[in-house]
Amino acid sequence: MSAWGIVGTGHHLPDRVVDNEEVARDLGIPAEWIVRSTGIHTRRRAAPHEASSDLAAAAARASLLDSGRDVADVGLIVVGTSTPDELGPSTACRVQASLGAAGAAVDIGAACAGYLFGLQFACGWLSANPDAGCAVVIGTEVYSRFLDPRDRTTAVLFGDGAGATVIDRAPDGHGIRSIRLGSDGTGADHVLIPAGGSRRPADASTIADDAHRIRMDASAVRDDIRTVLPRLIADALTEHAVGLDDLDLLIPHQPNPRTLRIVADHTGMPLDRIVIVGEDIGNIGAASIPTALDIAARGGRVRAGDTALLIAIGAGMTWGRVWLRWHDTKDTTP
């Protein structure tokens, strides 16, 4: 892997906070059940005028500010999202226009693993175009537009938000050291939005069936997470010939805090070395990892020289892991 690294982080959450009492009223369940089952206390909801590209552009601006780069330095924008502004064009093109950037812009459709797939795309593009500027990789979701407030398998979990990172050269021995991705299309029905695409275009019957809402086989997804995430950790440790004690920080996507604590117990990873932010923001899909990374960086939880592992499993089903050595993001001398 070339010496490309994360040189700036940022995230953006909508202003509106939705607590468990509000969600529970629509579901007809006690608010305490949500905490016991998921560990989530609050999540954010986008305002009526806010789309995924709006949140993404705000997160991108924050990451560029953190990196010391300017919009003119950006040669590539990659957006991972399951909730695009529209089926076409790419939400990344909307973000590019909002920022006033030039170069290339593309979407990645890998659900909660979309940000990690985006990192692979960005590193490959930068390697092929080393003088074309930096890349901004974004995860953004506005799940609230696709939730059935009466479906407790989804309504309690998902929130809205965006996270972004700037990718540029890193010092030797630092930055992104490996990226491994995978998919198993036989699990595509485990979580999906059934209608609105070319197979079931939106019409009166799909609206009546609420088929434009997120549908999830909760038990299948839970089994996928509890099987795949520990495997990703074990495979990364084996590939890099290190033990669990050599991993300073684990930054997973945020299915829910309760599940992450189960994974920690199963793998033996101490909780104080796992970044868990879902209590306050819920599952924000492709935005989860860059948002958690930004919160960790700004909170001093990841320091120069630290080894971090980013892992995710998403609808499709898709999964990915990224091994990196953190560096002083203000020092980009190769």
Q: Per the structure block, which two tokens stand in for 288? A: 């989860």
Report the alpha-carbon distance of residue 191 to residue 172 in Å, rounded: 40
Report the alpha-carbon distance of residue 95 to residue 29 in Å, rounded: 39
pLDDT value of residue 330: 53
Q: Per the structure block, which two tokens stand in for 158? A: 């998902």
pLDDT value of residue 333: 40
pLDDT value of residue 329: 60
Q: Is the pTM of this model over 0.85?
A: yes
Side-chain-side CA neighbours of residue 235 (13 Å): 17
pLDDT value of residue 326: 95
Q: Per the structure block, which two tokens stand in for 64? A: 């560029």
User: Which candidate, 272, 85, 263, places its Cα nearest to that of 162?
Assistant: 85
User: Which candidate, 72, 66, 137, 135, places its Cα nearest to that of 99?
Assistant: 72
Report the alpha-carbon distance of residue 183 to residue 175 in Å, rounded: 25
Mapped onto helix, strand or coil, the DSSP state of residue 185 is helix
Q: Per the structure block, which two tokens stand in for 244? A: 């669990």
Sequence length of the chain is 334
Number of helices and strands in the chain (H, E): 11, 13
Report the alpha-carbon distance of residue 39 to residue 80 in Å, rounded: 25
Query: Which alpha helices (DSSP H) does the chain contain, by range?
Result: 20-27, 31-38, 52-67, 91-99, 114-128, 152-155, 204-208, 218-239, 257-267, 278-281, 288-298
CATH superfamily of 1-334: Thiolase/Chalcone synthase (3.40.47.10)
pLDDT value of residue 332: 43
Report the alpha-carbon distance of residue 60 to residue 53 in Å, rounded: 10
* Radius of gyration of the CA atoms of the chain, in A: 19
pLDDT value of residue 328: 67
Report the alpha-carbon distance of residue 100 to residue 118 in Å, rounded: 21
Report the alpha-carbon distance of residue 290 to residue 293 in Å, rounded: 5
Q: Which residues are marked as active site?
A: 112, 253, 283
Report the alpha-carbon distance of residue 45 to residue 57 in Å, rounded: 17
Q: Which residue has the tokens 């939730």?
A: 147
189 contacts 84 by C-beta, under 8 angstroms: no
Q: What is the pLDDT along the chain (334 residues), one digit of tens a residue?
A: 458 999 999 999 999 999 999 999 999 999 999 999 999 999 999 999 999 999 999 999 999 999 999 999 999 999 999 999 999 999 999 999 999 999 999 999 999 999 999 999 999 999 999 999 999 999 999 999 999 999 999 999 999 999 999 999 998 888 999 999 999 999 999 999 999 999 999 999 999 999 999 999 999 998 999 999 999 999 999 999 999 999 999 999 999 999 999 999 999 999 999 999 999 999 999 999 999 999 999 999 999 999 999 999 999 999 999 999 998 665 444 3
125 contacts 135 by C-beta, under 8 angstroms: yes
